[in-house]
Amino acid sequence: MLRIILYGFALDDYLLMAKKLNGYGISIICAYDVNSKIKSILRLGDRKYIKIVDEPVIICNDLTPEDIKKLFSQTGGLIKFDGIIASVTPVNREWKLKRLIRTLRNEREAISKINILKEQLNHLNKIDISQASEEEIKYLEKWISKASSICKNNETDLKKINDVSNAISNILKNYHM
């Protein structure tokens, strides 16, 4: 049977989703204990009460996040979701729920910052360097290279992304952009 782990939903929302998605042959598991391993939650379910958190999470087993979004759209707008949706993988199956949630949030933040970095790169490419010294050009090329590498590889190291973004912001300020 297809299973979805829900975390951080209000009881009414949980019951509504369970009712709607049960018709699609999907079993809903409500997770409460963030110290439980994903594989344990999938095997046993988590029978504790639902805890309301700042952001709900859906973890899909045997379904993709795209499948879930499609199912939600088929409910005629009854189920609205603006949280994190992820899939169970062989690696994260061994993790505690809190680690998975923390990783997913960090990845989402990294993607957001990479998008900002891409915008900064677009601005950097418009800089007129005709009057720049050789040293300034090398410095500029170094940071463009680092930023390009982060964007190309979808880097998730937030410190690295922030350091490069801050350096590029300073360059853009110096060139009044």
Report pLDDT digits (tens) over 9-50.
Answer: 777 777 777 777 766 666 777 776 677 777 777 765 544 433
The answer on 84 and 17 residing in a single domain is yes
Domain membership of residue 103 (yes or no) is no
Closest CA to 3 of 83, 80, 87: 87
Phi, then psi, of 82 in degrees rounded to 5: -135, 35
Are residues 126 and 160 both part of a single domain? yes
| Number of separate domains in the chain | 2
Q: Is residue 137 part of a domain?
A: yes
Q: What token pair was written down for 2?
A: 């297809």
Q: Which of 164, 16, 169 is nearest to 81 (CA)?
A: 16
Please tell me whether residues 91 and 112 are part of one structural domain.
no
- Chain segment 35-91, per-residue pLDDT in tens: 777 777 776 554 443 343 456 777 877 777 787 777 777 766 666 666 778 888 888
What domain range is 31 assigned to? 2-95
